[in-house]
Every structure is written in C-alpha cells, then in structure tokens.
C-alpha cells in the first residue's frame, strides 16, 4: 500500500531548562527528567534523561530530534516529564505555534536555526520554569512516500532535484531570541500566542 503523509521535518534540539521545580523543590538529575515532543499526530519523540550543567546549574539535554510535523498541525507541544518508581509524572508543558518557525509572512526563512525559550506551565496552569530549544526547518512541505522514501508533490508527481532532508546554508539568516508565552495553553485547538 502506498501511504503518503504530508509532512515537514524539523530539526529540534532540546537544550536546557531553567527554574524548574518538582514538588516545590528545584528539579535535579535525580528526578529523571526527559522531554516528549508531539506535533498533533500519534507520533512522539523523546529525549534522553537530563544532565546537570556544571557552569550554571541548569539541567540540560542537548538532544537533537528530527520531528515530522503534519501540514495540518497548528502547534507542537514539548512536555517535561519525570520518571519515578510509580510511573511517569507530568512536570510542565509548552505549546508552540507552528507559525513561529515554519515560514510565512514575516517569519524566519527556511533552514535558518532559531533559538527559542518558552515558559513551561504545569497542568494547573502555574508557571514552572523556562525551556530552551533550537529549531530549524529542514525540508519543504512535501508528501513523503513511506514505501519508497521519495519526495512527491501533493499531486503525486516526483519532484525534480529534491533530496529529502537536505539543508541549504543561507548567510541572510537573522539572529535573536524569541520568548513565547502561550495564552490558553491548555486548549487543544488554541492558536493564540503572545511574544514577550
């Protein structure tokens, strides 16, 4: 069966977290923290366990993930979780609008590396630290043929000169840091975000 899924691929590197608390105490490596990334699909991507950065006492992952984002997705979520003896505990979540890094009017060009810091909230809506990550769009919106691994257009025609996962360098990429604070973060269909 020829399964075609409209996707874009992100190179997302979960870097570190600042000011994270667990049970009202500063989180440590003993809390076995990891991050799960979802892009409005059944697929999820998981980092390794956090390590402590000796220079600033932040918890770090520096874990690179290739995240397939469906074309219909309006946001991705990054969930910090703690592995305990009783199971997995939710610590904080950040929801990021896809429009922040996927192209479009006034956005950063494709293939440019962006560094983002997003406020985490617990499931009751309280602030709980800031998650730092970088993201780069590594392919154009295309249909990926699962069986053949070839790029095809939405009409089913093979795209000439297309290499899946190829990146191009650009010297026109601007620098800077965006801190996004979502409004209505716990609303699945919400697409309203504020940048601070």
What is the rounded distance in angstroms from the CA atom of residue 65 to the CA atom of residue 45? 7
Class level of CATH domain 4-195: mainly beta
Question: Which pLDDT band holds residue 79 (cuts at 50, 70, 90)?
Answer: very high
91-102 per-position pLDDT tens digit: 999 999 988 877
Residue 98 tokens, joined = 């896809």
Closest residue by Cα to residue 88 from 149, 145, 32, 25? 32
Residue 174 tokens, joined = 């601007």
What is the pTM for the complete model shown? 0.68
Q: How far is CA 50 from CA 9, 18, 193, in A?
A: 24, 12, 28
Residue with tokens 């610590």: 91
138-190 per-position pLDDT tens digit: 875 544 444 444 443 333 333 333 333 333 333 334 444 444 544 444 444 43
């Amino acid at each position: 069966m020829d399964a075609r899924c409209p996707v874009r691929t992100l190179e997302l590197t979960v870097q570190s977290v600042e000011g994270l608390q667990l049970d009202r105490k500063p989180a440590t490596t003993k809390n076995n923290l990891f991050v799960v990334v979802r892009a409005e699909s059944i697929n999820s991507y998981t980092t390794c366990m956090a390590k402590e950065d000796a220079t600033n006492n932040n918890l770090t992952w520096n874990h690179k993930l290739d995240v397939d984002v469906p074309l219909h997705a309006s946001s991705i979520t990054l969930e910090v979780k703690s592995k305990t003896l009783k199971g997995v505990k939710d610590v904080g979540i950040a929801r990021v609008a896809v429009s922040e890094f996927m192209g479009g009017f006034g956005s950063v060009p494709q293939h440019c590396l962006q560094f983002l810091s997003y406020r985490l909230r617990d499931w009751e809506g309280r602030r709980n630290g800031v998650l730092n990550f970088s993201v780069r769009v590594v392919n154009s919106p295309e249909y990926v043929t699962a069986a053949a691994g070839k790029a095809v257009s939405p009409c089913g025609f093979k795209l000439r000169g297309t290499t899946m996962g190829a990146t191009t360098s650009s010297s026109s990429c601007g620098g800077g840091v965006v801190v996004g604070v979502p409004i209505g973060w716990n609303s699945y269909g919400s697409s309203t975000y504020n940048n601070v």
